[in-house]
């Protein structure tokens, strides 16, 4: 028996229009350069009537992470290295966000965006307050633990939502009205969250009629990221296709993108130089954390948070950790 999903009716009309716009007519394939592809995506939805669903935000038509460039090179200037820290602090107040729909009942694991953010705030604050001065980062473990992280993302939230790809190739979209749909296990399994604790699982070949519009949008976002975006770093990661954490919330500021997941993982991507901070719980202990830094050269370094607290780190990494903490503190009080 198919469960009664009942997504909000305005959203249903919106997804029907979106699906017709995206897939109603076949268009001839024309080879395009990356900037033209972005323009094409904008044109695909330019004629769609705005939905009346309650959006978390409205932003640019398409905002994506590292687009593939002919030279394969990325910008090397860090916004945090070239602007005053006070200006960075102010930028945290200029932000946009999307959040998974909440239920009056508690989640199965008790995690909400506020809980994940508060835990991360606590451990980062403790680490930074105890950290000694240092000129370089400590040595990395010889065998760093693997974990799931976001390798690609695209912000299309002025139309339907925020899409991302995990390191195990699973795809997810957090829609503007708060529902979440993921394609997992090599796109054979669909996980659908009507709210943060109302979860349904289907085979991709047997998705209910009510979800087919959203399913088509997720597939479209997945194909766009596969064809146009490059991986976010060389990090060794968990490749298990069954690992499919739920994106609870994303927040964008002038300098960075923050993502909070249901497995307590926090990831922050800095736009200009494509550096990244990933904070996640260690598989060895639920109370210990791993912190990974992906540099502007796309090299990754993973440390236990306790090691950084005891030995310190470079000014480059410390500055980014402070920014992440300020971002969390601002949104905790917002």
Model confidence at 235, in pLDDT bands (50, 70, 90)? confident
Alpha carbon separation from 213 to 15, 67, 69, 146, 199 (Å, rounded): 5, 27, 32, 34, 18
Residue 263: both structure tokens together: 């497995």
List the structure tokens of 226: 């596969």
Q: How confident is the model at residue 196 (pLDDT cuts 50, 70, 90)?
A: confident
pLDDT band at residue 241 under the 50/70/90 scheme: low
Tell the CATH superfamily of the 55-333 domain.
Answer: POLO box domain (3.30.1120.30)
**Region 142-167: what's the mean pLDDT?**
89
Residue 44 has pLDDT above 50, yes or no: no
pLDDT tens for 134-146 read: 999 999 887 767 7
Both structure tokens of 326:
């300020």
What's the rounded mean pLDDT across residues 146-150? 89
Q: Span 84-94, mean pLDDT?
A: 54
Q: What is the pLDDT of residue 15?
A: 52
> How far apart are alpha carbons 97 and 253 in whole angstroms?
9
**Lowest mean pLDDT, pick from 82-96, 166-180, 235-249, 294-308:** 82-96
Which of 89-98, 126-135, 295-304 has the least mean pLDDT? 89-98
Q: Given pLDDT bands bounded at 50, 70 and 90, which one contains residue 176?
A: very high
The number of angstroms, rounded, from the C-alpha of 107 to the middle of its chain's C-alpha atoms is 20
Higher pLDDT, 144 or 124: 124
- Supply the DSSP string of 146-189, one letter for each residue: P---EEEEEEETTTTEEEEEETTS-EEEEETTS-EEEEETTTTE
pTM equals: 0.75
The edge-to-edge listing of strands for the beta sheet with 198-203 is: 63-64, 150-156, 161-166, 171-175, 180-184, 189-195, 198-203
How confident is residue 6, by pLDDT bands cut at 50, 70 and 90? low
The strand order across the sheet containing 276-281 reads 96-99, 247-252, 256-261, 266-270, 276-281, 289-294, 300-304
* pLDDT bracket for residue 43 (50, 70, 90): very low
Indicate the average pLDDT of the chain: 77
For residue 239, pLDDT beyond 80: no
Are 251 and 261 in contact by the 8 Å Cβ rule? The answer is: no
């Amino acid at each position: 028996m198919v469960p009664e999903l009942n997504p909000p009716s305005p959203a249903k009309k919106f997804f029907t229009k979106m699906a017709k716009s995206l897939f109603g007519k076949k268009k001839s394939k024309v080879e395009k350069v990356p900037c033209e592809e972005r323009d094409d995506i904008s044109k695909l939805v330019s004629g769609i009537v705005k939905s009346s669903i309650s959006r978390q935000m409205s932003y640019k038509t398409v905002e994506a992470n590292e687009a593939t460039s002919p030279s394969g090179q990325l910008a090397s200037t860090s916004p945090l290295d070239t602007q005053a820290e006070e200006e960075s602090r102010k930028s945290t107040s200029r932000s946009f966000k999307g959040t998974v729909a909440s239920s009056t009942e508690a989640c199965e694991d008790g995690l909400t965006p506020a809980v994940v953010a508060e835990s991360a705030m606590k451990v980062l604050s403790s680490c930074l307050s105890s950290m000694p001065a240092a000129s370089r980062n400590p040595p990395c473990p010889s065998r760093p633990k693997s974990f799931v992280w976001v390798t690609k993302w695209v912000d299309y939230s002025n139309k339907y939502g925020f899409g991302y790809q995990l390191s195990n190739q699973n795809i997810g979209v957090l829609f503007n009205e708060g529902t979440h749909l993921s394609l997992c296990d090599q796109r054979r399994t669909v996980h659908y969250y009507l709210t943060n604790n109302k979860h349904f699982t289907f085979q991709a070949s047997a998705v209910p009629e009510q979800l087919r519009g959203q399913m088509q949008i997720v597939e479209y976002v997945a194909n766009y990221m596969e064809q146009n975006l490059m991986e976010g770093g060389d990090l060794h990661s968990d490749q298990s296709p069954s690992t499919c954490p739920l994106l609870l919330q994303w927040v964008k500021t002038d300098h960075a993108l923050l993502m909070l997941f249901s497995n307590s993982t926090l990831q922050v991507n800095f736009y200009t130089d494509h550096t990244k901070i990933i904070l996640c719980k260690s598989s060895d202990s639920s109370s210990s954390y791993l912190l990974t830094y992906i540099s502007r050269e796309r090299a990754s370094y993973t440390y236990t948070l306790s090691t950084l607290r005891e030995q310190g780190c470079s000014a480059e990494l410390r500055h980014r950790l402070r920014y992440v903490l300020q971002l969390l503190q601002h949104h905790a009080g917002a």
